Amino acid sequence: MKGRGIRSLFAFSICFIGLLIGCDVMKQLSLSQETSGDGAYTEAGGLAPRSFNLLAPPNGAIGVSVTPTLSWEQAVDPEGKRVTYTVSLNPADGTGLVVTTQSPTYTFLTPLQSGTTYYWRVTAEDPEGNTRRTPFFNFTTATEGGGGGGGGGGGGTQVPSFL
């Protein structure tokens, strides 16, 4: 009888430890839904698109057309699903523009403001809502008439807080 009680206690202990481990696994799964340091956000049951880079205009470019074409590498979804891109463009004054496309390029047909510094980034999203973001790039549009210097910058790229 005594051996049977020990076995029951042992079985209970194993079940309890399994429950604790299961809770830890669930906690790990919930943490995987948060944004990681590499710009990825994943929903349960999916994988974020792979990292990709912004291509043009290059970071810090000056004298960019007021109707620029923004381009970036195609983001690949590890599960083979279609990726949609959201382009976020903000001038230094904090107003913003967000455009969604399925192409890895976007051309502005309506002119941007001349002589203005814009910050941009792209977010790739799969159908499950898993996302990956690029870091911010910036560019400055050409001034009208091409006259006068644009002056220097204040050094380094500022990351706007409005996105």
- CATH number listed for the domain at residues 42-146: 2.60.40.10
pLDDT for position 91? 78
User: 66 — alpha (psi -120 to 50), left (phi > 0) or beta?
Assistant: alpha
C-alpha–C-alpha distance, residues 110 and 128, integer Å? 32
pLDDT mean values, one per 10 residues, the chain (163 residues): 54 45 38 48 74 97 97 95 94 79 94 95 94 96 63 38 41
Q: What residue segments make up the domains of the chain, in order of their start?
A: 1-30, 42-146
User: Residue 108: which residues within 8 A CB-CB, separation 6 or more?
Assistant: 66, 67, 68, 69, 70
C-beta separation of 114 from 142 below 8 A? yes
